[in-house]
Structure 1
Amino acid sequence: MSPGGNSRPPDTAWPEALTEPVRAFRGESRIFLAFSGGLDSTILLQVAASCLPPSAHLTAVHVNHQLQPNSMETEASCRRQCEALGVDFLCRRVVVDQPEQGVGGLEEAARQARYQVFEQVLADGGVLLMAHHRDDQAETVLFRFLRGSGVAGLAGMPARRRLGRGWLARPFLHVERAQLQAWAEAAGLRWTEDPSNTDQRFDRNFLRHGIVPRLKARWPSLLARLDATATACREAAELSQSLAQLRFAQVGSDQGTLVLAELSRLSLTEQKNLLRWWIARAGYRLPELKDWGLVLAELIQAAPDREPELRGDGFTVRRFRGHLYLVADQAEMPMSIDQLTAGQSVRWDRLRISLNQVDAGCTQIPRIQVCARGGGERFRPVPGGPSRSLKNWLQEQAVPPWQRARLPLFYERSELVGIGGLWLSPRFSGAAPESGWRIVVERDCD
């Protein structure tokens, strides 16, 4: 069907199957709606506009991937529909990188670009409504089954989950697409068809047009069966997470690391389950590995002088002194700071550093420089005591090697007076620092 203007129908024009799950968000103060202009999101827009109060501040978010010849016409049509309904319209045009792995990679790249926009609009919280339905859920389960996903993947799309600093919700997951189309046609709605939705070079389109219809013809209850499978897998995934949390209480340290001696006592199945949960809990995507058992054997059983690693997207699992650490990929080294400004904090990696006056009588501001290690540093841990090699001292403190190079070092007139949050000279620490000034090092929560 071609794009056209839609009038705002009264709340009673839509069945309870659509309005009831949308009304559940009436108490939200910031509601966004993913609006592509297609059938599903057009109905969701109409229903939301009719049954959500003005206090919900409904905003339709249109992501223009600029991949189709009619993308600008679709954007203009979406804008007109929102104007006719009195709904705020937010458009984001994105440039999707053309991946080397072909159309399948393009499909995933477009999805990532779309969800990056959604996270941005949820930067201050709120809920994003998406119009995924029961057929989408079935395609997701089949697609993940063909990719070899475990129970977490076969659980399908959740009705609600965290996204950035807000929430993503799918109020139509229980409704079949055929029913949505029947209601839309009965209401006289018009929508825009994306030409790429029929391109069977894309995996999901191949399933949607080439496979699922044949499966439905053979098994009419296919969607209900796949929905039941997803529910069972979701419950199994929840049990796996609960088990992982119990095992982490036994195996994890106060610093959030995994103790290898304790981890090795678990069965291989429990080890794999715990490691996956540990990585996912930190917000990282699980790497696609052919043999998790082999990776775990290398991490746990390698000789003490070896440094096995598991690299993922944005993180690395590293081993050090009997522990596994989950280490975020580091940005470039922070720039040296020529002098700390009194009363003002500065950022160093994930630390906040400030120089604060403690004794009002000490008006002379000390000149404190901040820089990273250069090698060969020495300092006196105890005033008047022997000089120590910083390298050896850090080893004794069991500071992991990847953290040592990024520690901020504090100098006063070429004398090392502080090492990150590990050590500070009495001149700048304690209840009554000798200089009258205190260096404060805090972990940045942002």
Structure 2
Amino acid sequence: MTAGGNTARRDTWPEDLIGPVQKLPACQELWVALSGGLDSSLLLHVVAAAYPRVRALHINHQLQSNHDQTERACIDLCAGLGVELQVRRVNVATGAGSLEESARAARYEVFREVLGDNDLLLMAHHADDQAETVLFRLLRGTGVNGLAGMPVSRSLGRGHLYRPWLGVSRSRLEQVAREQGVSWAEDPSNQSEVHDRNYLRHSVMPGLKQRWPGLLKRVAHSARACAESETLSQRLAELQWQSCGDDKGRIRLAPFSALGRIERRNLVRWWIHGRGLPVPALSDWCSALDQLLHAGSDRTPEIRGDGFCIRRYRDHLYLVPQVAIPVGPRPLLPGQVMEWGWWTLRLMPASQSATTEAACPEIRVSTRQGGERIRFGSNLPSRSLKTWMQEQGVPPWERAALPLVYEVSAAGEAWIAIGDLWCSEQYSGGAHAAGWRLIVERDCD
């Protein structure tokens, strides 16, 4: 433990620390992310003085030799302040990848689980953290969005994250903590320069601050400028989507091709981010999009991302999430929700008289095996399913995954639906003939 003193609530704190805390947005529950270190321990003291009800959340990553002592210190601190504390222990993957990133992912997963509707989680990031973040991202070659640094607030799970002290330096926090006798636990890993952020903190930032005393303010100014630029880029993408996007979530090639190369890149990155997917770190986005747009009609160009790809078919670009396609045939039972690739299927009773499972016909779901023919009406000739899907503009990658639904009876098998493209009148609308209604939806519906 460092410093020390009485942990009782105090009524007065410096205005530069308590002022931002007193201006928090309205919320249902107020939380403080408590690591046990200087910054979060001081934040909890100040917040507890400003609000009658606050809760703390401590994530024990179980990575440091003193993690039990740190957890105990958090328990004692909250007991002294009369603050309810929730402790969560997590197991951090220590295999491939960055240990720091794995710990952060585990920590934020707990945050998302704990926060309820309109809850607010406070984090004690300060001006030095912001400067280190911007510099670290600059060295990694990030774009304007990354150089905007950490936002003051953003959504997190069902609630929101808020950083009231991004404009306060760490030296100021330490000064106040020592003057007020606030105790905190030291993380031994913070001194190791094996981690990139610690190297920046201990070996790079001190020299930069000495050379440029106003460094934190300069970096904060640049970060705000980048944030404003990113906001304008997002707004431009939203406006251009109105002419380039369609109601199926695709990009129409004709208006998209008329955009400038930078505008095309901006729109596609916005498109990916809007679907909740990570934007690929391509070295040359413009070249990749040019290849996607101008490849011959016999080619199948694509841009691959983490868990998805962007593909071109006919007059559109498609954002195709990576999904597992079930192996059929599988029975579709009443009331069951069946996930099938990009589709969801349900069989629901159309009336009270068809609510028992015994009254339900045998329904199965499968995929193409090749050579299927289908009749769309009793008085119509059968047609090749392959030809029909081509006429409907079904992209090649969807044809093998499309759920084919059929009814099994003593008379044999009869097709009743082809994905979300066609459904027999016996199982759609009022479904008077079959007594059951088949609902097939896509993930973009």
SS, match of residue 131 in structure 1:
coil
**Corresponding residue number in structure 2 for 1:397:** 392
Following superposition of structure 1 onto structure 2, how do residues 70-149 of structure 1 map, counting pairs within 5 Å?
70-100=66-96, 105-122=98-115, 124-149=117-142
Q: Name the CA shift for 1:396/1:368 in 2 (closer, same or farther; >3 Å).
A: farther
CA displacement at 1:125 relative to structure 2: 4.8
- 1:431-442 matches, within 5 Å, as 431=430, 433-442=432-441
Residues 325-355 of structure 1 show CA distances to partners (whole Å, capped at 9, x for unaligned) of 11222145277542422xx242324525122
- Alignment deviations for residues 216-267 of structure 1 (CA, whole Å, 9 cap, x no partner): 1111001111111011111111111111112211211221211122222111
Residue 188 (structure 1) shift:
0.5
Would the aligned equivalents of 2:332 and 2:346 in 1 still touch at CA under 8 Å? no
Q: Structure 1 26/425 Cα, relative in aligned 2: closer, same or farther at 3 Å?
A: closer
String of CA shifts for 1:252-308, please: whole Å, max 9, x gaps: 122121112222211111111111111112222221111112211121111112122
Structure-2 change in CA distance of 1:84 and 1:301 (3 Å)? same
The aligned amino acid for 2:203 is G
Structure 1: how far apart are the matches of 2:9 and 2:352? 69
The equivalent of 1:354 in structure 2 is: 347
Structure 2 unaligned residues grouped into runs of 5+: none
Where 2:199 maps in the other structure, the secondary structure is helix
Whether 2:156 is the aligned partner of 1:157: answer: no
Structure 1: runs of 5+ lacking an equivalent: none
How far apart are 1:420 and its partner, in Å? 2.6
**CA offsets 1:162-209 (integer angstroms, 9 cap, x no match):** 222321111111111111111111110110111111111111111111
Partner residue, 1:417: 416
**Aligned amino acid, residue 347 of structure 2:** S
Q: Distance in 1 between matches of 2:72 and 2:86?
A: 12
Q: Which of the numbers 254, 258, 264 marks the counterpart of 1:261?
A: 254
Give the match for residue 7 of structure 2: 7
The offset of 1:98, in angstroms, is 2.4
Q: How many residues align?
A: 437
How far apart are residue 360 of structure 1 and its match?
Answer: 4.0
Gap change, CA 1:226 and 1:261, over 3 Å in 2: same
Which residue in 1 is equivalent to 2:214? 221
- Name the CA distance, whole Å, in 2 between partners of 1:127 and 1:25: 9
Amino acid at match of 1:79: I
Does the C-alpha gap of structure 1 residues 96 and 280 become closer, same or farther in structure 2, counting only changes over 3 Å? same
The answer to whether the Cα contact below 8 Å between 2:346 and 2:439 also exists between their aligned partners in 1 is yes
Where 1:13 maps in the other structure, the secondary structure is coil
SS class of match (1:182): helix
Which residue among 342, 348, 361 is the counterpart of 1:367? 361
| Counterpart for residue 43 of structure 1 | 42
Label 1:123 to 1:30 Cα distance change in 2 as closer, same or farther (>3 A). Answer: closer
The CA RMSD measured in Å over matched residues stands at 2.4
Distance 1:336 1:46 in 2: 61
Match of 2:331, SS? coil
**For the Cα contact (< 8 Å) 1:339–1:367, is it kept in 2?**
no
Structure 2 CA distance for partners of 1:89 and 1:347, relative to 1, 3 Å: farther
Q: Distance in 2 between matches of 1:116 and 1:21?
A: 27
Residue of structure 2 in register with 1:388 after alignment = 383
- Partners of 1:111 and 1:437 in 2: CA distance: 48
1:176 partnered with 2:169 = yes
- The 5 Å alignment of 1:234-383 reads 234-331=227-324, 333=326, 337-341=330-334, 344-349=335-340, 350-358=343-351, 360=353, 365-376=359-370, 377-383=372-378
Match of 1:66 among 62, 85, 88: 62
Amino acid at match of 2:89: R
Does the 8 A contact of 1:5 with 1:81 survive in 2? no
Greater alpha carbon shift after TM alignment, 28-37 vs 122-131: 122-131
Question: Take 2:325 and 2:250, find their aligned partners in 1: how far apart are those partners?
Answer: 24
Matched-pair contact (CA < 8 Å) for 1:348–1:408:
no
- The 3-state SS of whatever aligns with 1:36 is coil
User: What does residue 428 of structure 1 align with?
Assistant: 427
| Higher mean C-alpha displacement, 212-221 vs 435-444 | 435-444
Normalised to the residue count of structure 1, the TM-score between the two structures is: 0.91
Q: Which residue among 225, 228, 243 is the counterpart of 1:232?
A: 225
Deviation at 1:76, TM superposition (A): 1.8
In 2: Cα distance, 1:162 partner to 1:444 partner = 23
Change (3 A) 1:4 1:415: farther
Q: Distance in 2 between matches of 1:73 and 1:123?
A: 29
Equivalent residues of 1:356, 1:440 under 8 A apart: no
Deviations 1:334-382 (A, max 9, x none): 77542422xx242324525122133749987231323220413332122
SS at match of 2:164: coil
C-alpha displacement at 1:87, in angstroms?
2.0
